[in-house]
Structure formats: structure tokens, C-alpha cells
Chain A
Amino acid sequence: MQANTRAKSFITDFVRKIPPVLWITLLLITIFSMASDQYLKFSNFTNILVQSVPLMLVAFAQTLIVLTQGTDLSLGAQVSFVTVLWIYLTKAGLPIYIAAIISVVASMFVGSINGLIVSKGKIPPFIATLGMQNILNSISMLLTAGASIYIYHPLFYDVTKAKIIGIPLVVWITAFMFMVTWVVLYKTKLGAQIFGLGGNQEALTLAGINLVKPSIKIYAFAGLLTSVSGLITTCRLESGQPVVGAGWEFEAVAATLLGGTSLREGKGGIGGTIFGVLLITILKNGLNISGVPSLYQNAIIGLIILMSIVIDALARRMKSYEEGAKL
């Protein structure tokens, strides 16, 4: 009986978790459609979806890391690194597909190093990945001498312009990566371990699980998602850009938090993150269409990010207040 009412309260809890993002999203759409008659066109919505793709993939990666109570600050640098490496290797004479695969593997390798440092070295993820961010940025700069590097290849155009049943290929790719992430999170051992790392590490140790292996796998998988984002970004820009991903890791954290994943207890999931990313993209797109100067745009987005983090912190404080502790 009791369990049943609690099941209900869990559902209401779940429903309560999603709406804020949806509401704000709908509110923004209303505001922007009043501000500009260009806004409510179908083409603009596909546009928003396409625009959201690179951040979406990075945010999926970040969500997994946040579920383990970590933050991966190297994700943005990984994106830049992949765009640079792909072009660099192709320029060096490797076939473009081979270069792409090497770039993906390199990004996963970077991730597994992160996972190794975090778990084996017991270094807080924030610090370990901050170090990795700097290393990657530096490598990207060295490979490009600080400027963008270009090659011409029809593949780039094909990837960005291709459509299947009227929906752009990159959106399909993202949907596919979402499915893969969802399966990993809910249908594999690794997924359960992700929730375990965030929720109760003691439980993993007592189950005889060495924390190193799952951490390496999780960060490597984050690297995979990020590298796909990097490849798509390269196609769109038709170039390797050493700073293109700067700051994406924080937007990804914001999207994760907006989507209802909490910075503690391994609470949340991948579904909400989609809406978090859409919210941020709609905000950017709407500000553009309504003609708000880009100098203001960053401030507004920053405010939204801060708000999402403050709300999370407030929720935590309210909860500990309910539990009766003042310290």
C-alpha cells in the first residue's frame, strides 16, 4: 500500500522534475515568436535542432559524468582537439575516414586517461580534467600554430546538407547516439555502476567492484560522444578550429542541471538533458533572430547557467533543512 502511494509520489516527483525546463522553453518560444515573425517557421525549428547537435552530444557526455558526481572540464577541449586532429591528419595525407577513426579513438583515449587519473589517482574530477583541458588546448594550438586549418572535401558538405525523410542527417546521428547512451545507462552493467558511483561508492566496493575500470569506461564513452560532436563540428565549419569547443563543457553542465540531473546522489538521467540543451539553443537562436547583440547574449546565457546552478544548490539546502541539520 505504502509502496504504492510512494510509487505515485515518485511519478509526480519525476513529472515535477521535467516541467521547469519545458515551461521556460515554451515561455521563450512565445516571447521570441512575438518578437519576430520569422521565428515560428518550420525551417527555423529544424535549424534549432541542427544548431543544438554539437552541444547535445557533449551534454550527454557531461550528464554521465555528473551522474557519477564528477564534472569533466576537458570536454570542450576534446571537441577542439578532434576537429584539429581530423583535419591535421587528413592534411598529412591519411584517408579522411581513417583520420576520422583515429580522431575518435584519440578522444576516447584522452577520456580513459581522465578516468584513470580520477579513479586510480583519487584526484577530484574537476582538477584532473582541468589539467587535461589545458594539455589538449595546448596540443591543438601546437598542431595548428594557433590558427584555423582548412582542407576541401565534399564529405563535409554532404554530412551537413544530407537529409533522411526531411530530417537532417546530423539530427539522425544525434538520435542514434542518444539511443546508444540510453542503452549504456539503463541496459548495461556500466549504467548501474554510473548510478552507483554517484549514489553510494561504498556499495560498489562491498560488491567487490574495483572503481578503476568503470571510471575508465565512463570517461572513455564520454570521449566517444564528444568526438562525434567534434566530427560534426568539423563538417559544419569545414575546418579544424583550436578553440571552437571552449566553454562547451560549462554549457553542457548547465544543460545537464537544467535537465534535472543533480550534482549529487547520482540522481537524474539523460532524457532531461535534451531539453536542457534545447533551452540553451532556443535562447541563443531567439536572441539572434530578435536582433539582440551577441555581446549581451553571453551575459544572458551566463545568467541562465548561474540560475540553474543556484537552483540546484537551493534545493539541496532546503532538503538538508527539512532533515533538520543546520550545518
Chain B
Amino acid sequence: MDNVILTTRAITKEFPGVKALDSVDFDLRSGEVHILVGENGAGKSTLSKVILGAYIPEGGEIYLGDEKVSFKSTRDALQRGIAAVYQEFTLIPYLNVAQNIFFNREPRNKYGLIDHKKMERDAKKLLESLNCDYINVKLPTKFLSVAEQQMVEIAKALSFNPRIMVFDEPTATLSEREVESLFRRIKKLKESGIGIIYVSHRMQEFKHIGDRITVLRDGKKIATVNIDEVNDMELVNMMVGRDISQVYHRSENHFTGEVLRTEKLSDKKGRVKEVDITLNKGEIVGIAGLVGAGRTELARLIFGIDPIGGGKLFIKGKEIKDNSPVKIVKEGVGMVCEDRKRMGLALNHSVMWNTVAVSLKSFFPKLLISHKKIVEIVTDYVKQLRVATPDIYRACKNLSGGNQQKVVLAKWLSANTDIMIFDEPTRGIDVGAKMEIYAMMDKLATEGKSILMISSELPEVIGMSDRIYIMNNGRIVGECKRGELSADQIGALMLGVGGDSCAS
């Protein structure tokens, strides 16, 4: 291609335990919007960070035009005209708009001090070029709306006169109208010859904004195609298609009686909207959806971490009015979450301490506790759950991710929990440990515990759930029983396309 401005060859990036990028080739032309798409963990953010110099790849080459480059930091990439608009904003709340745009590159006056007037003039010019001159450059960015902050981020990126811009999930936090105006601005940038890498998983946007799409899966490039040569179904296939039959085993089970029900449950921030779900005794219910669809927020809401904004929550037939984790745990609900390190375990404490800390009171209603009995109880759980630890006094930080997750399970089991919420239970765990966790879930459900599983790994949801709810944009957009829908159909619902095949 004559106008290719950026090429990567065989980029490989490894993190401990995962190959985040496996020999990825990619190219970008000037004046195009090239969409990078893939499931969570497919490697799209990693690739964009390699291009931005934030990650240094273990293998492969990057070319700007014909020249080979290697970036040691984001600063190197910036100097070569590669700028980013990050998903998480990088603005400093109590510096004003102009100060943020020119942060650390402030224009100086003849005394060597910052020339605020010039800085504000230049900032204004940049914002005008984005048709955003209504933003007051003297206002601390803290007081701007999210969309305005994003415009400031774009202005900041533009101030480097980039030839290449990377947008990482730019619409995740915007309203529809704001998305439209963002797209108008991106098109304008494109017309000026800037090459744009657009990282996203919102399929409904692709046709509006993209020229070409590169699909990544498990760190590998699946294909690069022109946007008008591919349909949504084909894309979904490329993103999720894989063999899932071996890893998952779910026993036949009969469900008796409802243990959890929500009626038009909403949170206060509008991230969970009028959700109706039920969970029966002995059932595994999966909630599928992309990051930002409101799954984790729903779990937090049910577990009482976030306050209820509207609707009702019933646990074992009893309405929970003022929800709080303390109350919910008392009702026999436990949560195993993605971030075990922060919310599940005291990492510096022993397996023993973590297992019995929440349940000591029930084992020992009187004042004194018996060390011998604790050892018995904990040893029993360690055996039952097959926690690989040399002894129960080992600190949890020395265990692998899968074994840490088992200790979290032991904690809830010892507290007589019979409803479990699993939020991304297998993230960051290797396949072997995953299979053990799945087997454990199957066993628990068969024994009569109820499990609500939230996961962004679609195969996991499909493989383990007796019933699946599909979430998009805070709402339940579909429900199906085990085996009713294919991965493609569920994937399409998650992405908000072709959604009428099985809407509840």
C-alpha cells in the first residue's frame, strides 16, 4: 500500500502466564479509521499500547512508513506523532483545561515562567478546531462533563500534531448524542489525513465510523477486512468461535423453588436498568454481556455494595429493603469476585485465617475459640476443595490464582452460604484451575446451592449455565435455557445486534 503509515510485524507480548499478543501483523493507512475488535482479553488494548510505546514487546517490529522504530516510552511515540485518547481519562482534576492540554510542555515567557495567556490562546485555538470553543479553557477539568473532558483529551492529543491517533473505547462513557458529535470530529480528523486506530467492541458503531477492521482473538490476529465486505454475524463468529465442549461439564439437575428474584431492579447511576431475574435452588444462572453492560454493577447491587435505586430485591422470598453487604451475607449470600486480592482475601493472612474469619462466630458462639477445632474444620475444607497448599498456615499470597479462588470458596462454604454470586470467577486463572473451579461449581449446584455467574467469557457462560440472561447497556435483552441459543446468537445479543430471536 502506498499510503501505509504504520506497520507492525509479528508483534509478541507476554505477561506472566499469558501470551497477550502472538505474532500480530497490523497496518494503518493515512486517512483511515482502522477498528481493532475482539473479546475482552483478546489483545486489542495490548496491541494499541505497544504501538503507543506504553508496553515494550518481546518480539516483532514496528515501522513508521519504511523506517523501523522502537519506542521505550509513550514519550518516544508522542515525539514520532503517535498520540492517544485513553479510555480512562488522564486529566488532572484541579488544573484548568489549558494547563491540562499543555501539561509539562507549558509555553514560557521571557522570564522562564509559564505564559498562561499564550497557553490559553493556544488551547482555545485547538478547541475551536474541534468545534468545542464553548469549553472555558480557564476552568479546572474537574468541573467539565465527561464528554467535555474527552474533547479536552482529544485537544491534548492534537496538540502534539499527531499523524496517528489511538482511541481506546472512546464511546464507553458517552451518551448517544455525544457519540454522534465525537464521530463527526473523528471524521474531520480522518479527512485531515490522520490515521486512526479505534479500539472498540461496540458493533453497532463500526459501520458508522470504520474503514477496515482487524479481529483479534486470544492474542492472535484472525483477519483484517474492509468494513463493507463483512456482516455482523461473520464478525461475531471471528470473535468468539472456538471449541468449548471439553472444558465444561454441567450435570443434569432439578431445580426446586426460587431463592432470589429481582423486580425492575435499578441502581442509582443508571448502569442497571429495571432488571428482572430469578434464581432457583440448585441452578446455575449465567449473565452474559460485554464490559460496561452492567453485569458487575448488577452483582454489586444484589450483594449490597451499591444502593438500590428502584425496584425490588427478594432473597428466599423476603424483600431486602436497605441493602448492605452485612445484611445480604446474613441471608446466606456470598460473593466470589474477580478482584480476589482486594475484596476476597486478606492476602498476607493464612489459608486458615481466611477460611474461618467470617464464620468464627457460628462455630464458636461462646467467648473462647478452640484452635484444634479450627484446624479440623479448615483441613476438611482444604481437602474437599483440593486447595494445593503445603499446610493451612501458608499465607494466601503464596498460592496460585486458582487456589486463592478456592480459599474464597472455602470461606463462604464455612459461613453456610447457599447462594453464591461468582463475578468473573476464572479471570487470570490457567485452564487447569479453571476446570477445577467449573467442576466445583457443578458439584455445589448439584448439592443444592444456587449460583449466579457473571462472566465476560462467553464460552464459560454457555458451558456452565442452566439458564442465561443476556445484558446490554444495563438491561436484560434476552433469556434462554441451556442449549437454546448458539454462541453466535448470544454474542449478537450481547453486542446489541439482531436481538429479536429470543428476547424475553
Contact = CB atoms under 8 A, between A and B. Distances in A.
A3 B104 contact: no
A192 B107 CA distance: 13
Contact of B136 (A3, A207, A326): A3
Contacts of A204: 104
Q: Which 8 pairs show the lowest CB-CB distances between chains A and B?
A: A208-B75, A203-B90, A199-B92, A187-B113, A324-B268, A3-B136, A199-B93, A6-B143
10 contacts: A6-B139, A7-B136, A183-B113, A191-B114, A199-B95, A208-B73, A208-B76, A209-B104, A265-B142, A324-B269
**Chain A binding surface, main DSSP class:** helix
Interface string A118-155: 00000000000000000000000000000000000000
A23 interface: no
A206 B139 contact: no
Given A7-B139, A199-B93, A200-B90, 17 more contacts: A3-B148, A6-B136, A6-B139, A9-B143, A186-B114, A188-B113, A195-B92, A196-B92, A196-B103, A199-B92, A199-B95, A204-B104, A206-B54, A207-B90, A208-B73, A267-B94, A326-B306
Contacts of A324: 267-269, 306-307, 309
B144 interface: yes
B interface bracket (residues with beta carbon within 8 Å of A): 35 or more
B279 to A, nearest CB: 23
Given A3-B135, A203-B90, A324-B268, A10 B140 contact: yes
A220 B332 CA distance: 55
Contact of B78 (A2, A188, A203, A208): A208
B324 to A, nearest CB: 6
A174 interface: no
A4 B99 CA distance: 18
Interface of A: 1-4, 6-7, 9-10, 183, 186-189, 191-193, 195-196, 198-200, 202-204, 206-209, 265-268, 324-327
A38 to B, nearest CB: 42
Contacts of B95: 192, 195-196, 199
Contacts of B93: 199-200, 265-267
A10 B73 contact: no
Contacts of B225: none
A187 B114 contact: yes
Nearest to B269: A324
A203 B91 contact: yes
A206 B268 CA distance: 32
A192 B135 contact: no
Contacts of A208: 73-76, 78, 104
A18 to B, nearest CB: 16
Interface in B39-71: 54
B301 to A, nearest CB: 10
B114 to A, nearest CB: 5
Contacts of A189: 104, 106, 114
B90 A206 contact: yes
Contacts of A327: 305, 325
B94 A10 contact: no
B145 interface: yes
Nearest to A201: B92
Nearest to A14: B140
Contact of B306 (A187, A209, A325): A325
A187 B99 CA distance: 11
A187 B109 CA distance: 10
B15 interface: no
B234 interface: no
A27 B342 CA distance: 46
Interface in B409-466: none
Contacts of A187: 113-114, 116
B376 interface: no
A261 to B, nearest CB: 10
B255 interface: no
B248 interface: no
A268 B144 CA distance: 18
Contact of B103 (A2, A3, A202, A207): A207
Nearest to B309: A324
Given A187-B113, A326-B305, A2 B268 contact: no
A192 B325 contact: no
Given A9-B143, A195-B95, A188 B90 contact: no
B88 interface: yes
A183 B112 CA distance: 11
